[in-house]
């Protein structure tokens, strides 16, 4: 079905967090109505949507009723059970397809897909038993990273394994979950490519983003990434190949490592908009959220051109520990753009918002967002 879904139609979103909020705002700016579905009420996305439906993702009757009321259904995060997309697909168009969700929401399936299709990834092994852990360490060496195969993000469910680590403790940390043991990647930096693909195969990628983390959570992103243009081209070509092979209709983010030897290794995939792409809201002609709407509705993709070097800084819950942050101080720089997510409770490590800014150079943009964030505590 390659016909356009025109403004005035209703877009359904499974998931109702901050990504859904910004997606809903972009959709409404284009003239669409928005309905969101999740187990929670008064959510970041629900606050701005036309309809906020509350129900379990595995409640087939409620989900079917929701799907029948929308023209197309998309996702704001990948931890929606793939069974939910199968139910929805009986009643409406689902983009990207549930098969994409099924692969990308579980690390073993994802890594197997990448490896089997010739995309560069670190060697890995499945870990279900204590013996599996020993065999993986023997075959792939140490140090390494052991992750839970499902439901991991922002460093959750991940642990580094060293020669001096206690294997029994490492295995116990899986808490009965299936694990994936990954050979250690000696990387210099982390980058990401946010890209879109339409039902008729049109592809567009945003400039390559470079990402800096703190405590396993994205801290600052900037573009263009400080990498060789040939590597940037290679990263975009990898993303194009992955979206094509998966048959993505919509948006997908490819997270990559740049190794110290100058190679690119695919780390993870996310079939949605991404934290690293938030700077597109103010720095690119088309934001990642508008691009997702365009892609799933079969509209022409927008320009991904960067207007100027740009940076984004995440705002986490600790900034609220001594009371309401000083928004006026942060915004005293007229070039700073503030985006808050409407979350009612600030917790340590919780993403509450972000700050974007452009500059004459990447360094200037980074300095601007970091300074603005520091002023929040003044």
Q: What rounded mean pLDDT belongs to the chain?
A: 96
* Counts of helices then strands in the chain (DSSP H, E): 12, 18
CATH architecture assigned to 10-94: 3-Layer(aba) Sandwich (3.40)
**Residue 164 reports pLDDT greater than 70:** yes
Least confident span in 85-89, 154-158, 208-212: 154-158
The per-residue pLDDT for 112 is: 98
Report the share of the chain in percent with pLDDT over 90. Answer: 94
The per-residue pLDDT for 150 is: 87
Which tens digit of pLDDT belongs to each residue from 45-88? Answer: 999 999 999 999 999 999 999 999 999 999 998 888 888 999 99
Question: Taking each helix axis from N to C terminus, what angle separates 229-246 and 107-116, rounded to the nearest 10 degrees?
Answer: 110
The per-residue pLDDT for 87 is: 95
**What does the alpha-carbon distance between residue 272 and residue 194 come to, in Å, rounded to a whole number?**
9
**What does the alpha-carbon distance between residue 217 and residue 247 come to, in Å, rounded to a whole number?**
29
**Domain 187-375 falls in which CATH fold?**
D-amino Acid Aminotransferase; Chain A, domain 1 (3.30.470)
User: What class is the 123-183 domain?
Assistant: alpha beta
Q: Are 73 and 92 in contact (CB under 8 A)?
A: yes
**pTM of the predicted model as reported, rounded to 2 decimal places:** 0.96
Which tens digit of pLDDT belongs to each residue from 298-330? Answer: 999 999 999 999 999 999 999 999 999 999 999
Tokens standing for residue 89: 């697909």
Q: Which of 115, 57, 106 is nearest to 81 (CA)?
A: 57
**Residue 155 reports pLDDT greater than 70:** no
**What does the alpha-carbon distance between residue 20 and residue 363 come to, in Å, rounded to a whole number?**
30
Tokens standing for residue 265: 């290794």
The per-residue pLDDT for 353 is: 98
Least confident span in 12-16, 72-76, 157-161, 368-372: 157-161
Mean pLDDT value across residues 123-137: 97
| C-alpha distance across the termini of the chain, in Å | 54
The per-residue pLDDT for 1 is: 65
**Residue 279 reports pLDDT greater than 80:** yes
| For the chain, domain boundaries | 10-94, 123-183, 187-375
Sign of the torsion formed by the C-alpha atoms of 62, 63, 68 and 72 = positive
């Amino acid at each position: 079905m390659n016909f356009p879904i025109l403004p005035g139609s209703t877009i359904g979103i499974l998931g109702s967090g901050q990504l859904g909020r910004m997606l809903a705002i972009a959709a409404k700016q284009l003239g669409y109505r928005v309905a969101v579905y999740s187990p929670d009420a008064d959510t970041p996305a629900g606050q701005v949507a036309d309809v906020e439906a509350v129900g379990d993702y595995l409640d087939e009757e409620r989900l079917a009723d929701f799907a029948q009321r929308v023209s197309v259904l998309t996702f704001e995060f990948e931890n929606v059970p793939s069974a939910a997309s199968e139910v929805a697909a009986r009643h409406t168009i689902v983009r990207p397809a549930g098969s994409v969700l099924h692969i990308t929401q579980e690390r073993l399936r994802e890594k197997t897909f990448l490896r089997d299709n010739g995309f560069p990834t670190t060697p890995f092994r499945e870990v279900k038993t204590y013996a599996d852990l020993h065999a993986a360490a023997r075959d792939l060496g140490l140090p390494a990273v052991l992750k839970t195969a499902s439901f991991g993000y922002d460093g959750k469910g991940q642990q580094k394994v060293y020669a001096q680590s206690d294997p029994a403790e490492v295995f116990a940390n899986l808490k009965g979950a299936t694990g994936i043991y990954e050979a250690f990647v000696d990387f210099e930096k982390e980058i990401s490519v946010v890209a879109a693909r339409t039902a008729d195969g049109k592809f567009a990628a945003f400039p390559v983003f470079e990402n800096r983390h703190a405590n396993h959570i994205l801290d600052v992103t900037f573009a263009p990434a400080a990498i060789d243009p040939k590597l940037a081209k290679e990263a975009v070509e990898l993303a194009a190949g992955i979206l094509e092979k998966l048959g993505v209709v919509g948006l997908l983010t490819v997270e990559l490592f740049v190794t110290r030897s100058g190679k690119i290794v695919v780390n993870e995939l996310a079939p949605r908009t991404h934290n690293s792409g938030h700077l597109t809201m103010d720095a690119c002609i088309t934001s990642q959220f508008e691009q997702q709407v365009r892609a799933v509705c079969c509209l022409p993709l927008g320009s991904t051109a960067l207007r100027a070097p740009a940076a984004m800084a995440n705002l986490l819950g600790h900034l609220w520990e001594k009371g309401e942050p000083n928004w006026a101080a942060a915004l005293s720089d007229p070039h700073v753009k503030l985006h808050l997510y409407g979350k009612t409770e600030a917790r340590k490590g919780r993403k509450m918002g972000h700050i974007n800014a452009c500059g004459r150079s990447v360094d200037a943009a980074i300095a601007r967002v970091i300074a603005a964030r520091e002023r929040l505590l003044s």
